[in-house]
Amino acid sequence: MTVVRDVVLLIAGAVLVAATLMSEVRTVMLPRGVPVRVGRAVFRTTRRLFALRVGPRAPYERRDRIMALAAPVGLLALLLSWLLLFFGAYTLMFYALGVRPMSRGNASVTRLKARLPLLGDIDRSRPSRPCVCQ
């Protein structure tokens, strides 16, 4: 049963990567307006959140001042959503291939912390070596 689950997860992750990549291409590179579900959902959500902030009976100046930020925030949210979709898709594929990302990720961070001294732990009594660049 785990083989079937792993195959389904691998295919789902690959489809999610392909769908996210096509969403990016259609949104950023295609010269004509093609509706993309991810972009539409992100911008609708952003607009609704900003409309809640503005309120139904706001004067034009307040509405204009607040809604002027909706498009830039929507673009940042779209980039974040693409990043999260890629992260989720690759997590599914790694999990299907037998790599447990969360447990290995925690171990990697622990090893990295052990190797890198914190800024406060640096011995400042020794002079640093000058960099000789050729």
Cβ of 39: how many Cβ atoms within 10 Å? 21
CA angle 71, 56, 61 (to 5 degrees): 60
Q: Is residue 49 included in any domain, yes or no?
A: yes
pLDDT in the model for residue 41: 95
At 10-28, the pLDDT tens digits run 999 999 999 999 999 999 8
Is residue 66 within 8 Å of residue 50, measured between CB atoms?
A: yes
Percentage of the chain with pLDDT > 70?
75
> Residue 16 belongs to what domain range?
2-121
Q: Is residue 130 included in any domain, yes or no?
A: no
Q: Is residue 46 included in any domain, yes or no?
A: yes
At 41-94, the pLDDT tens digits run 999 999 999 999 998 888 999 999 999 999 999 999 999 999 999 999 998 998
Q: Is residue 131 included in any domain, yes or no?
A: no
Q: What tokens does 132 get?
A: 């000789």
Q: How far apart are CA 44 and CA 63, in angstroms?
A: 17
How many structural domains is the chain composed of?
1
DSSP structural state of residue 28: I
pLDDT in the model for residue 102: 61
Q: Which amino acid is at 67?
A: M
Q: Is residue 82 included in any domain, yes or no?
A: yes
Q: Is residue 28 included in any domain, yes or no?
A: yes
pTM for the whole thing?
A: 0.70
Q: Is residue 128 included in any domain, yes or no?
A: no
